[in-house]
Amino acid sequence: MTRASLGRNALYHEGVGRLAHALLIGLVFSAAPSAEDWPQFRGPTGQGHSTEHGLPLQWSESTNVVWKTPVPGLGWSSPVVAGDRLWLTTSVAEQPQGRGRASMSLRVLAFDVETGRQVVDVELFRLDRTDLLNPKNSFASPTPILEGDRVYVHFGAEGTAALTSAGEVLWRTQLPYESQHGGGGSPELYGDLLIINCDGNYAEAFVVALDKQTGKERWRRQRRKPSDQAYTTPLTVRVGDRDQIVSVGAYRAGGYDPASGREIWRVRYDEGFSNVPRPVYGHGLVFIATGFQQPTLMAVRPDGEGDVTRTHVAWTLRRGAPFTPSPILVGDELFVVSDAGILTCVDARTGTVHYQARLGGNYSASPVWADGRIYFLSEAGVATVLSPGKVFNKLAVNQLEGATLASIAVSGGSLFIRSLSHLYRIGARERP
């Protein structure tokens, strides 16, 4: 997609104008690569892959920083990019004058991709408390999702909203449930539905589909008991001749019919809850991280019906499975980094471990694959760049200031990185 604007009409008229100009002057140009949008958590496919080229291998606070701009408040939502705008959410604590109670403003922000200038700042919800439920989380951790001229924003149980790219609020709604550690999972778009995992603390856990035009509930499916907390993002996969929504919850994951919410299949893991990683799909397998207690990574064939725990689990990785970062599949190899920085490369089809290596540091961000490299970002702002393949090959290690729990976004020949206090565009200073 081009990076002219979000509006299709604007794209059309700009394209026509450029073509007419080229024809008038009688010149023939080779097609320049267009920028790929990064419209949701983990990019266009939801699995951390980008088709961008010309990305930087090395950077620092003084090298290959196109711009650096402050971000108000606290939030760990990952950046998303469409056209000339980058979006994220934040939470801003506000102290009233006098004896009033402090409140938390939940906001959506947009920045100009070329300059880093903030261009949209809209409050969507306000809370009468400011204390975090978990010191590693925030009130603004779920990542927005972009489609056309729409921005869909989620703050867990605190609220969900849709806006235009100009910042006009179209609808707001709330999906009440009690979460032990706050919001975490991001929404998934499917057709005219916005699908969200709402996994509360023991009593209330469900998957819900909202009408993306109105915010009205279209279907809701309760999790099977026992249920518990989870903080995951659904993923749409194509299995045979039908689509499925793969949704990971406490103690089990499953495939759902996106039109009705009917559970197609499910797989059990009796010791897993508080799940965070988004599932990954490839080679006919769904790769699922089971969460805390006894963390494992399961490869499941999603072509079954009912309980497939005994029949459709292809393999299980029990050492080095992540609590927080999502896996990434590159070719035949699946890469997972544990929260403690242990990288494991396995054969995606068989689960055979090719190698394990210590990257160093702690990890929450999910890795990305772009320009023939895999980028891993630690919580301390250290990005380790590797070559894919069966052999460990470190290409570069880069450092930025501040904590980095949000995942990298890729667009326009650049990496966009959110730290505790700033937003960075990392790329070549001189771009065509």
Do the beta carbons of residue 305 and residue 316 sit within 8 Å? no
**Other CB atoms within 10 Å distance of the CB of residue 10:** 14
Domain count, the chain: 2
Q: What's the rounded mean pLDDT across residues 318-346?
A: 97
Q: Specify the pLDDT at position 429.
A: 57
Is residue 102's pLDDT more than 80? Answer: yes
Residue type, 241: D
Same domain, 24 and 128: no
pLDDT on residue 2: 35
- Both tokens assigned to 309: 């725990």
135 and 6 inside one domain: no
Considering the domain architecture, whether residues 50 and 15 belong to the same structural domain is answered as: no
The CATH number assigned to the domain holding 210 equals: 2.130.10.10
| Strands laid side by side in the 65-70 sheet | 65-70, 422-426, 414-418, 409-411
Mean pLDDT value of segment 157-180: 95
Contact by Cβ (8 Å): 79, 38 = yes
pLDDT interval class at 292 (50, 70, 90)? confident
Is residue 431 a part of any domain in this protein? Answer: no
Kindly tell me if the per-residue pLDDT of 222 is higher than 60.
yes
Among 94-98, 231-235, 336-340, which is the least confidently predicted range? Answer: 94-98
pLDDT value of position 11: 33
CB distance 113 to 141 below 8 Å: no
Q: What was the pLDDT predicted at 97?
A: 73
Q: Is residue 13 part of a domain?
A: yes
* Across 240-261, average pLDDT: 97
Measured between alpha carbons, how far is 23 from 367 in angstroms, rounded to an integer? 43
Q: What is the pLDDT of residue 400?
A: 98
Based on the domain organization, do 348 and 282 belong to the same domain?
yes
- Domain encompassing residue 324: 33-426
> pLDDT-derived band of residue 34, with 50, 70 and 90 as boundaries?
low
- How much of the chain, in percent, has pLDDT values that exceed 70? 91
Selection from 179, 155, 95 nearest residue 130 by Cα: 95
Same domain, 250 and 348: yes
CA separation for the pair 405, 76 (Å, rounded): 6
Residues 10 and 136 in one domain: no
What does the pLDDT read at residue 329? Answer: 98
Distance of alpha carbon 135 from its chain centroid, rounded? 20
Whether residues 293 and 158 share a domain: the answer is yes
Residue 20, burial from CB neighbour count under 10 angstroms (0-12, 13-18, 19+) = exposed
| The predicted structure's pLDDT at residue 23 | 30
